[in-house]
Amino acid sequence: MAEPSLAVRRKSRPGSARKRSRAPVQPSAVCSPVARKRPSSGGEGPPAETPCSNDSEEDMFGDYDSFYGNDSLLAQIDDIEHKYLQDKNTDVKAAGEIILGNLQSGIHQKKQDNFSTSENMLVLKADKEDAFQMNENDPVDSNQEPTDSILDDLPSSQLLYFEKMNELSAGSRISPVSERRNKCVNSSSGKIRSPSSFCPYAEHGNRPTDFSSDSKCDLFKTESLKDHLKSAMTGNAKAQTLQVSKTKQLKEAVLSEEICVARKTIESSPVDIGPFYGLPSKVKDLFREFRGIETLYEWQHDCLMLESLQQRKNLIYSLPTSGGKTLVAEIIILQELLCRQKDVLMILPYVAIVQEKVRGLSSFGIELGFLVEEYTGSKGRFPPIKRRIKKSLYIATIEKGHTLVNSLIETERIDDLGLIVVDELHMLGEGSRGATLEITLAKVLYTSKNTQIIGMSATLNNVADLQKFLQAEYYTNNFRPVELKEYIKIRDTIYAVDSKTENGFTFSRRLNFKYSSNLEKADPDHIIALVTEVIPKYSCLIFCPTKRNCENVASMVCKYLKKEFRAHREKEKQDLIKNLKNIGNGSVCPVLEQTIPFGIAYHHSGLTNDERKSIEEAYSAGVLCLLACTATLAAGVNLPARRVILRAPYVANEFLKKNQYKQMIGRAGRAGIDSAGESILVVQEKDKHLVQDLINSPLENCYSNLLLELTKGMQSLLLSLVGLKIAVTHEEVDNFMCSTLLGVQQQLLSKEKSLSEIIKNGLENLIEKGLLKGRISEKDHNSKCTLTITLLGKATYKGSIDLAYCNLLYRELKKGLEGLILESNLHLLYLATPYDMTSNCSPDWMIYLRLFNQLSAAEQKVADIVGVPESFITKKASGQAIRKNVDSVVVNRLYLSFVLYTLLKETNIWSVSEKFNMSRGYVQNLLNSAASFASCVLHFCEELEEFWVYKALLTELTKQLTYCVKTELIPLMEVAGVLEARAKQLYNAGYKTLAHLANANPETLVKMIEHLSRRQAKQIVSSAKMLLSEKAEALQEEVEELLKAPTDIPGTY
């Protein structure tokens, strides 16, 4: 088996593929840019550069071994030429080959295969070699190297001469050789669209070469081949050298050639995988530079070499957390983008992870020539821009990934998507988001036979169902880079988890920590004893059941720590507190202010985005050594620790699931830092038996949620199937549903209703709601009645509106047309406030009344229009009885719109959360949800002509909600990972536009911006470059589309 190393060697080729060598050049020799000395066959390095002096007409080639200095050779050419021109029935192609054969006998060279500087050269070489083989009537073996040709090493001017001959002679006729070449170039999954499609750095143009035309005889008559060769080589020698670094030219040539080789290899051979798993060796260097990855783990190598991957079959692979799953996915993604020249969609569960991945892969995109596009919240274009040259990597949340796939199916571009990668595949079984993920994958499987699906997870059990659903192969391994030791703690005793024993535990040790009576009362679970064994030298995570518990644990631990802990990296901790104060405009959480000097903080959804990012960066840098966090961190950004402590076997009030437990303990052990990782589950005596069951139980099965989440699941799927014309009859819908995870698991349905009956009821419900038109007959023979989607139905699925609210939204938008208040944006904000946030809202009536009274008369009219009279608010605030019922959803929604209205005016989450007595994390979540929902309402209105007036208004409002900052900061905040606090720092330092950031020097950024690491600076610059490149590409595509001549101009044929 091959060594599991990052640097996988390319297999040596047969003799005909080895490099050629020319006669050595004297040190004083003069050389042209093309006629450089090439390395000998034994050389592995780049070609040696020969010093060049000024060219002169008298001695252009000096002592260089060439055609020009070989008079006998040129005489031979003349003789052969005259001989073959006398015979008019002789095929010119054969003459050319014999001439070349004679030339070959006079010059001793070896083929230079690895440094082809353009796609034209590469394709032309293949044609001439094929032509020679065909002339000899030898069958072509795809596994055999082509015969050597002297034209391999001719300068470009000579090659252009032969092409010019072809253009003058061939007319509209193309030779079989050219046809073969064109077929070859266009054969990568049948969809290569441009000459540069597999060599990003190659020159454009792909002229057919034809040596078989009789009319070439005339060209030979008018001017001899000898004269042509002389003049062409003289012109080539005189050619001016571009003022470009030779090193850079060489690097680009190597990268271009390796991408070509990688693509050809992937298409033709599943065994020889080229320099780096079918990718340029530059990719290996980039992983080393950006990630510090020198070698691959053995399992990663084995997985990438799987026959199923070579054959482009779908694949599910499962390994423990921290096993290195993502690296395998990234290599497969790069193969798709660079070698197969297809777009890729990567689906990740959370916005923070999407943004982290966009930052991480933008650097690769800049270096390798592909685009990275973020699809989260209100970001992303639907459908995405169709790129002519560069390919795109779309990184999306589950919801945005679904909308993106819908738009590609609708525009008949789904086959442009070569690969979908799904991280955390087990989320198929988690609520409405699982239903959306299932719908997305089912549509891709049904509509595209060319799109490969790769799913990965650390916690999968019923893999057979998932394999059947995704029509996928399965790979699993128990590898972890760092050994994980699992323990549980009962009272002051630590037990090792051992599945071989009867009860699952074996005694390990007793805690050696002296507790005073006061400390025992404050810390009955011995958390302090457990954490002081590892901090501050090593890092530690404490998972707590609730947000409040996180803050309490952090406060309690620092209260009893010794003062020596404060001295550890004291200045950096003070800088962190200062940074948090800047984020809060002078305010900082009192708990964090108390705990950070000890290197401790909490981490949960109650923090703002800026606060959470600052704390994560400080923990990763080792400034913070202990985080008290909720379970969401386990599934979020990667923050590993030496020791993971589970404060209790509960998440909120629910007992821990095996999947959750595995994800939490998977954070223990940092590859390359720790020799082992430890997890300790704190257990009360009463929960001992439940924990034994938890330890010994298998992972939970993954079940379809299409039926459990009716309006976001089954009904949403049925509506979009008809809208996208994937299935428009009851029978077609039945066939589609059999290919879903629900269809695979339909034996689990209750016996009362079959899947077909559930589908029938769902379609009837959609017809009743006015979203579909048609008739579902009771009789089977009428099941082929065609269903069509209404305008409201189309707007609903294209806007990704929950079917539970689509009719209500339509009525409120319609009512708004009668009297939309535009004195301020309050009325628009009400329409953009998400419905699903209202159930968690409990208005403070005194605050409600005070804010209402502060509104202008026109703004107060908004409350009347939506149905919340002033009298109702007044009576609620004074505690009086309410006789007239008012819809609580409308009341709560208006209250939330007051929050958003205040937030857009003040642009400060801290002050708004204090004013409304809400947690700042809740206000942050409201803002993010409103931005996303405003984008959905905008797409909804775009499909309904009567709502044309909302389009411009909602476009601007969506932008305001997305960034919620002063206008001048918006360009900087468009860059992935740049939040408000960082944007302010950059703006104040003089980086005021996207172009400023894209052209910034990372080293200068580090010096000028406080609390910015070198790695973060590089990521910001790369992300800015990527965004600038993406915008420039979009404008270029628009320009080319505008200048493109229509194909249906009247009077043209």
pLDDT digits (tens, 9 = 90+) for 549-593: 999 999 999 988 888 889 889 999 999 999 999 888 888 999 999
The pLDDT tens digits of the residues spanning 990-1040 come to 999 999 999 999 999 999 998 888 888 999 999 999 999 999 988 988 898
Please name the amino acid found at residue 554.
A
Which helix (H) or strand (E) element contains residue 37? none
Higher pLDDT, 32 or 257: 257
The pLDDT assigned to 908 comes to 87
- Confidence bin at 129 (pLDDT 50/70/90): very low
The pLDDT tens digits of the residues spanning 789-833 come to 999 999 999 999 999 999 999 999 999 998 899 999 999 999 999
CB contact at 8 A, 441 and 715: no
Q: What is the mean pLDDT of residues 706-714?
A: 87
783 by Cβ neighbours in 10 Å (0-12 / 13-18 / 19+) ranks as middle
Q: What is the mean pLDDT of residues 528-537?
A: 92
Q: What is the mean pLDDT of residues 657-681?
A: 88
The pLDDT assigned to 709 comes to 82
Could you tell me which residues come within 8 angstroms of residue 274 by beta carbon, excluding any fewer than 6 positions away? 10, 258, 261, 262, 265, 266
Report the distance separating Cα 98 and Cα 681, nearest Å: 81
The pLDDT assigned to 256 comes to 73
Mean pLDDT is highest, among 12-26, 803-817, 871-885, for 803-817
SS3 of 442-473: the string is: HHHHHHCCCCEEEEEECCCCCHHHHHHHHCEE
pLDDT above 70 for 431: yes
Q: Strands of 118-164 (E only): list them.
A: none
Query: Distances in Å between the alpha carbon of 278 and those of 16, 267, 522, 631, 959?
Result: 22, 10, 59, 39, 42
The pLDDT assigned to 1047 comes to 83
Report the distance separating Cα 642 and Cα 674, nearest Å: 7
pLDDT above 50 for 624: yes
- Which residue in this structure is represented by tokens 């599943």? 270
- Confidence bin at 243 (pLDDT 50/70/90): low
Considering only 642-651, 747-756, 766-775, which range has the smallest mean pLDDT? 747-756
Query: Distances in Å between the alpha carbon of 562 and those of 552, 559, 567, 596, 598?
Result: 18, 9, 10, 14, 9
As a whole number, the mean pLDDT across the chain is: 80
Please name the amino acid found at residue 628.
A
Write the DSSP symbol of residue 164: H
Higher pLDDT, 97 or 835: 835
The pLDDT tens digits of the residues spanning 401-416 come to 999 999 999 999 999 9
The pLDDT assigned to 732 comes to 93
Report the distance separating Cα 460 and Cα 456, nearest Å: 9
The pLDDT assigned to 676 comes to 85
Report the distance separating Cα 700 and Cα 707, nearest Å: 19
- Give the pTM: 0.75
230 by Cβ neighbours in 10 Å (0-12 / 13-18 / 19+) ranks as middle
The pLDDT assigned to 118 comes to 39
The pLDDT assigned to 873 comes to 93
pLDDT above 70 for 547: yes
Q: What is the mean pLDDT of residues 169-197?
A: 41
